[in-house]
């Protein structure tokens, strides 16, 4: 039977790719909206069936916890549950200490909420939710019972029950209804990170990479490392298999960062040799580098297969010593030999790290995890002074509201304090809290108006839960849908919170327009006061003051490399530098002088810090090193640490002299190689130390 080829029509998605992308985005958005509505109404029905006092609290919990990815929901739920329990216990303790002393009670509550807001700023990801909830729950447990302290225990039990029910419903719906698994996204990101790095290394084997290209590459590498750790921290909640692979994922990220630092150091050295009048040495290192490119260039279909690449890299490691000896032989001058030996050691280290990286990546693709691996952690750099500013701001906000409440006897002061508590914590970690407050306030007011129409126009006369859904669903879905739009950050969550708060489902339902208006005014006032506090005491996140301190902390990581205990130092150094680098660059204008200075310092810190760690490991491993050699090498590292701590020309000269003395003392020992790399980095005319480097003289050109 003959087959006649048909003329296939061109799909619309290929003719209008923007339309296909739009439809795919809308499909994902409406799936999220549908899941959110299902979870919110299911939670409300269960709360009413269980005779809980305020189903609206359960609905608010669901709206805050819901996320398109199930792993994110579980992570938020975990920290939210911990925060709820901690806040409830603190609220009970506080009420038992000050049952009839309102002033001391509100003062202590304000301090607790301030500390929780500081914790929300200090910790990132969904851990911040735990702190926000710890402050918010203490307020919702105690403030309604402030006139009758004997009811505080019942209030705590009820609020915890409502919140935990919302957490449970959100987790079940997210995990069972069209689940979008975060682990798949993590796997894709890890694979993309591996592929991009391998391609980048393969294409760079010519050995000549401009400084600007290396700076941008380092920025991309830092972002990829931080993003992978953020995602891994959420995925471990999704299923046991991912949790079992979590240790390997952490180690994979650390091996990625270690290989990236060695790669950067090697290219910097080659580029310095090309600029500094040693082209023969640079050419020899480039020739030594090319076999790595061959190892990373199997058949096209295998170029990203980690098992294949790991085997080829292992062969490259075995062959490198013979190639090093062959390329070193024509170099007769001692300085040229030292330069070549330093580069060859770096290349050998890089190839071994790349092999280990590919091997571990391959083990993660296996269906079953076998054996155990080294336990490492991604160390974060938290900004304590910035958190203290958040503590002070929130404490003053809550203190001012408390004083006004006590002085005026405002019946709805508790509502204002609750909203101020929530948004003081949520907005504390925002890079632009004023903008976030404005968007949230607009959404909140719109949600209140929608709730007013539902409660006083559509709901009266209804007699079952189906009528409630029919009356409110059209208004309710606006919030989740707006949450999927990046162009209106904060408006969607604000709308949902305003709508559910003012809808105020209760057992039984109450219709009181006067209460509605007073409660709405109080809630808007609390939110507005929380935003006003950011005007009076601005956030430090992204400020020049914070960037200056983080910039200083970045340089001080070189001090950490030179002086901190060696155990676990390598992974702590790599992760701290990249986390700090990512924090500062996020709030720095791309292409600005500040951004370029930051990139240059990050590269310098990574190169010098990693080299000092390697040098210290050699000193610790070889007990036969002469005391004089050990002392001069240690003195050189301390001089470099002091230079990074407070850079100036005098300290640069002392560091340069100390390293030169250590090289001379080390004679022909292996310690000369990392010491020479340190001196080469100090004399890099494209580094931040370029202004301190004196003009070359005939004597300095031939100095070892």
Q: What does the pLDDT look like over 653-667, one tens digit per residue?
A: 999 999 999 999 987
Shared domain check, 70 and 49: yes
Phi and psi at residue 271, to the nearest 5°: -65, -40
Query: Rounded to an integer, what distance in angstroms lies between the CA atom of residue 403 and that of residue 413?
Result: 10
Mean pLDDT, residues 180-192: 76
Least confident of 238-252, 528-542, 595-609, 636-650: 238-252
CA angle 437, 580, 247 (to 5 degrees): 105
Shared domain check, 270 and 151: no
CA angle 223, 228, 234 (to 5 degrees): 130
Shared domain check, 159 and 256: no
Shared domain check, 304 and 405: no
b/e 199-210 (16+ beta carbons within 10 angstroms → b): ebbbebbebebe
Chain centre to alpha carbon of residue 438: 25
In terms of pLDDT, which residue wins out, 46 or 704? 46
- Asked if pLDDT for residue 566 goes beyond 50, the answer is yes
Residue pair 533/397 in contact by the 8 Å Cβ criterion: yes
Least confident of 89-93, 490-494, 595-599: 595-599
Domain ranges, residue 168: 25-180+383-536
Shared domain check, 339 and 203: yes
Q: 4 lies in a domain?
A: no
Domain boundary among 308, 335, 365: 365
Number of Cβ within a 10 Å radius of residue 195:
14
> Does the CA dihedral 244-248-250-253 come out positive or negative?
negative
Predicted pLDDT of residue 13: 44
Residue pair 501/346 in contact by the 8 Å Cβ criterion: no
Shared domain check, 629 and 484: no
Query: Rounded to an integer, what distance in angstroms lies between the CA atom of residue 253 and that of residue 247?
Result: 10
Shared domain check, 100 and 129: yes
Query: Rounded to an integer, what distance in angstroms lies between the CA atom of residue 457 and that of residue 451?
Result: 10
Q: 685 lies in a domain?
A: yes
Domain boundary among 365, 396, 416: 365
In terms of pLDDT, which residue wins out, 14 or 511? 511
**Band of the pLDDT at 254, cuts 50, 70, 90?**
confident
Predicted pLDDT of residue 2: 37
Predicted pLDDT of residue 241: 63
- Residue 300: which CATH number? 1.20.58
Report in angstroms the alpha-carbon separations of 416 from 10, 157, 427, 529, 630: 58, 23, 16, 9, 65
Residue pair 587/431 in contact by the 8 Å Cβ criterion: yes
Give the DSSP H or E segment for 507.
none
Number of structural domains found in the chain:
3
Number of Cβ within a 10 Å radius of residue 143:
22
Q: 371 lies in a domain?
A: no
Q: 80 lies in a domain?
A: yes
- Asked if pLDDT for residue 8 goes beyond 50, the answer is no
Query: Rounded to an integer, what distance in angstroms lies between the CA atom of residue 465 and that of residue 455?
Result: 14
Mean pLDDT, residues 307-319: 92
**Band of the pLDDT at 226, cuts 50, 70, 90?**
confident
Encode pLDDT of 46-99 as tens digits. Answer: 998 998 888 888 898 888 888 777 767 777 778 888 888 899 999 889 888 888
Query: Rounded to an integer, what distance in angstroms lies between the CA atom of residue 576 and that of residue 598?
Result: 15
Q: 541 lies in a domain?
A: no
Least confident of 13-27, 32-46, 60-74, 542-556: 13-27
Q: 3 lies in a domain?
A: no
Helices 544-563 and 569-586: crossing angle in degrees, nearest 10, is 170
Shared domain check, 117 and 259: no
Q: 545 lies in a domain?
A: no
Residue pair 344/328 in contact by the 8 Å Cβ criterion: yes
Q: 216 lies in a domain?
A: yes
Query: Rounded to an integer, what distance in angstroms lies between the CA atom of residue 311 and that of residue 420?
Result: 59
Which of 92, 137, 93 has its CA nearest to residue 113? 137
Please give the biggest Cα pair distance in the chain: 99
Report in angstroms the alpha-carbon separations of 51 from 60, 144, 459, 505, 575: 17, 18, 20, 12, 49
Shared domain check, 334 and 276: yes
Mean pLDDT, residues 470-494: 86
Shared domain check, 418 and 340: no
Omega of the bond leading into 500 within 30 degrees of 0 (cis): no
Shared domain check, 461 and 357: no
Percent of the chain with pLDDT over 90: 21
**Band of the pLDDT at 214, cuts 50, 70, 90?**
low
DSSP label of 457: I
Phi and psi at residue 656, to the nearest 5°: -60, -45
Predicted pLDDT of residue 15: 57
Shared domain check, 54 and 150: yes
Q: Which residues contact 220 (CB under 8 A, 6 or more apart)?
A: 196
**Band of the pLDDT at 236, cuts 50, 70, 90?**
low
Per-chain mean pLDDT for the chain: 83
């Amino acid at each position: 039977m003959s087959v006649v080829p048909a003329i296939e029509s061109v799909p619309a998605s290929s003719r209008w790719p923007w339309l296909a992308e739009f439809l795919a985005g809308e499909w994902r958005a409406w799936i999220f909206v549908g899941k959110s509505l299902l979870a919110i109404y299911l939670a409300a029905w269960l709360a009413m069936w269980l005779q809980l006092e305020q189903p609206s609290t359960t609905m608010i919990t669901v709206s805050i916890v819901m996320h398109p990815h199930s792993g994110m929901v579980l992570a938020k739920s975990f920290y939210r549950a911990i925060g709820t329990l901690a806040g409830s216990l603190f609220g009970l303790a506080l009420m038992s200490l000050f049952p009839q002393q309102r002033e001391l009670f509100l003062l202590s509550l304000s301090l607790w909420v301030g500390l929780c807001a500081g914790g929300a700023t200090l910790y990132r990801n969904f851990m911040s939710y735990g702190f926000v909830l710890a402050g918010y729950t203490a307020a919702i447990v105690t403030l309604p019972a402030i006139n009758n302290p004997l009811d505080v225990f019942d209030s705590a039990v009820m609020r915890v029950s409502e919140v935990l029910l919302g957490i449970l419903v959100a987790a079940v719906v997210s995990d069972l209804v069209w689940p979008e698994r975060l682990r798949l996204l993590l796997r894709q990101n890890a694979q993309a990170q591996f592929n991009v790095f391998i391609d980048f290394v393969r294409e760079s084997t010519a050995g000549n990479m401009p400084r600007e290209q290396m700076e941008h590459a380092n920025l991309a590498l830092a972002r990829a490392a931080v993003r992978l750790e953020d995602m891994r921290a959420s995925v471990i909640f999704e299923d046991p298999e991912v949790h079992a692979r979590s240790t390997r994922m952490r180690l994979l990220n650390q091996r990625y960062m270690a290989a990236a630092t060695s790669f950067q150091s090697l290219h910097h050295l080659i580029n310095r040799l090309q600029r500094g009048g040693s082209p023969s040495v640079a050419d020899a290192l480039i020739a030594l580098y090319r076999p790595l490119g061959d190892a990373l260039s199997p058949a096209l279909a295998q170029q990203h297969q980690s098992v294949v690449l790991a085997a080829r890299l292992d062969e490259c490691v075995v062959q490198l010593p013979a190639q090093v000896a062959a390329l070193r032989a024509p170099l007769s001058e001692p300085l040229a030999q030292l330069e070549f030996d330093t580069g060859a050691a770096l290349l050998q280290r890089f190839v071994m790290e790349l092999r280990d990286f590919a091997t571990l990546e391959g083990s993660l693709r296996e269906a079953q995890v076998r054996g155990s691996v080294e336990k490492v952690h991604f160390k974060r750099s938290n900004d304590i002074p910035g958190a203290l500013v958040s503590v002070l701001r929130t404490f003053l906000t809550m203190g001012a509201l408390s004083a006004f409440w006590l002085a005026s006897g405002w019946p709805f002061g508790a509502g204002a304090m609750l909203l101020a508590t929530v948004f003081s914590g949520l907005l504390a970690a925002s890079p632009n809290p004023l903008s976030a407050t404005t968007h949230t306030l607009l959404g909140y007011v719109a949600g209140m108006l929608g709730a007013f129409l539902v409660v006083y126009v559509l709901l009266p006369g209804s007699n079952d839960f189906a009528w409630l859904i029919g009356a409110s669903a059209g208004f309710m879905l606006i919030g989740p849908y707006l949450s999927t739009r990046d162009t209106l950050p904060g408006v969607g969550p604000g709308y949902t919170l305003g709508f559910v708060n003012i809808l105020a489902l209760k057992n039984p339902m109450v219709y009181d327009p006067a209460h509605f208006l007073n409660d709405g005014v109080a809630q808007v006032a609390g939110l507005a006061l929380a935003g006003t506090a950011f005007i009076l005491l601005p956030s430090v996140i992204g400020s020049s003051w914070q960037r200056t301190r983080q910039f200083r902390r970045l340089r001080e990581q070189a001090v950490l490399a030179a002086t901190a205990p060696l155990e676990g130092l390598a992974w702590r150094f790599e992760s701290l530098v990249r986390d700090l680098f990512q924090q500062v660059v996020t709030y720095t204008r791309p292409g600005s002088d500040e951004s370029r200075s930051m990139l240059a310092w990050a590269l310098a810190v990574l190169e010098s810090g990693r080299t000092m760690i390697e040098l210290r490991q050699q000193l610790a491993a070889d007990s036969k090193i002469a005391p004089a050699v050990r002392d001069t090498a240690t003195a050189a590292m301390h001089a470099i640490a002091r230079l990074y701590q407070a850079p100036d020309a005098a300290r640069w000269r002392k560091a340069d002299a100390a390293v030169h003395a250590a090289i001379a003392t080390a004679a022909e020992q292996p310690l000369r190689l990392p010491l020479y790399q340190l001196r080469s980095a100090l004399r890099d005319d494209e580094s931040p130390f370029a202004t301190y480097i004196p003009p070359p003289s005939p004597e300095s050109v031939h100095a070892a």
